[in-house]
Amino acid sequence: MNNKYEIKSFNNEKEAKDLLKESRNRIDEIDNDLFNLICQRTSFAVDIALAKEYLGMPIYDKGREDAIHAKIKRLSDENGIDRDIIDQIVNMLTILSKNEQKEILRRNVDG
C-alpha cells in the first residue's frame, strides 16, 4: 500500500462534509480492527511465555525484536510511512507482549 493521495476538489460544502464524515467513519472502523488485532497479538503471549519458560529462554529476545524492527522499517519505507513513529508503535506492542508474558509467568509461579 503506497500512500499516493489523490487531491480532491469539491463542488460544494456538502461534498466536503460527506467526505469528512465517510473518512472519519472508516477511521473508526479501522481503529476497531486495530484494537482487535492488538488483542489477538497479545493473546499469543500465553503460548510464547510458556514455551520460553519450558525452553529456559528469557522473555527478552533481542534477535527476534531486531528482526521485527527490520521488517517494520522495510515496510515503512516501502509504503512511505514515518518509520520512527511506526517503530515507536512496534516498541509499545513488544512492551505490551513482554508485560503480558511476565504476568503469565508470575501467575504460573504463584499459582
- What domains are defined for the chain? 13-110 (1.20.59.10)
What are the tens digits of pLDDT across the range 3-23? 566 778 899 999 999 999 999
Cβ atoms 22, 77 nearer than 8 A: no
The predicted model scores a pTM of 0.79
Mean pLDDT for the chain? 92
pLDDT at residue 84 is higher than 60: yes
pLDDT at residue 45 is higher than 80: yes
User: CA 79 to CA 81: how far, in whole Å?
Assistant: 6
